[in-house]
Amino acid sequence: MKKVFMFLAVAGLLTFTAYQSNAQEEAAAAPAATEEVASSSTEDAVAPAAPAADPFATTNDQPLHQQLKAKFIEGGAGFMATVLLCLILGLAIAIERIITLSLSQTNTDKLLAQVEEKVKANDIEGAKEVCRNTRGPVASIFYQGLLRMDQGIENVEKAVTSYGSVQMAQLEKGMSWITLFIAVAPMLGFMGTVIGMIQAFDAIEIAGDISPNLVAGGMKVALITTVGGLVVAIVLQFFYNYLISKVDTIVAQMEDASISFVDLLVKNQK
């Protein structure tokens, strides 16, 4: 359910952005036409000297999202759409994992104190209830250990170790998909570049002349897909490293809390 919500949120954001960009383009069309008519009427009357061209000056006053939209179209809808799909799916999974891992963190010291209080009072059912009412993998591990209290400490340790591995696998669920998108996005970009170069050489062959404009235009379109793939991989890599560090922190808390939990049971059995 969380993943479906994330997908719908991202799709809605993209739809809103596209609608906003189209509205801005339509609003800018009328003033542009008026300026063109006015400039053409005064062009013959006054002809000022042309200033020196600055090769580093930027004449594109379009907003950033419109520039990205133009580059997206120039790169080709086929490969750029697949690269964008990798970004959307990767971000959706990363956001879902961030929310899940944030909810998995628990105040282990407080939980240990509550469980110890119940165990000292020989209220094992009360300790189980505390674990059931606490979210996170640490509480689940404690609950599995408490279920085997009557089977001896050795069985409790085995249960804690085994269920700790299960919880660790659940924390890392979905991470492989993010690594897949990190690897696939640049490959799709490189494939688009190669196909774009092939198309550029085909155009040169048909024209029968090596025109600089023809070569430069074909290479620019081909390289846009590579840039898109690399940008997607870089963005998802940051999210992946953040998630890995979060998982490592939770796993360290699980191991430390499990050791303290077993020590607590041993101390209260004597």
> Model confidence over 51-106: pLDDT tens digits?
444 444 444 566 655 666 566 566 566 677 888 888 999 999 999 999 999 888 88
Per-residue confidence band for 26, with pLDDT thresholds at 50, 70 and 90: very low
Confidence bin at 218 (pLDDT 50/70/90):
low
Judge whether residue 7 has pLDDT over 70: no
**C-alpha pair distances (Å), 65 with each of 18, 62, 203, 233:** 9, 8, 30, 20
Report d(CA 214, CA 219) in Å as an integer: 9
- The confidence score (pLDDT) of residue 136 equals 87
Residue 48, CA distances (Å) to 42, 44, 250 in order:
11, 10, 69
- Tell me which residue has tokens 């359910």: 1
- For residue 40, give the amino acid letter: S
Contact 189, 79 (CB under 8 A): yes
Choice between 176 and 79, residue whose per-residue pLDDT is larger: 176
In one letter, which amino acid is 29? A
Of 130 and 152, the structure prediction assigns the larger pLDDT to 130
Mean pLDDT, the chain, integer: 74
pLDDT exceeds cutoff 70 at 19: no
Spatial contact of 156 and 269, defined as CB atoms under 8 Å apart: no
pLDDT at 46 over 90: no
pLDDT at 84: 86
Looking at residue 260, its pLDDT comes to 87
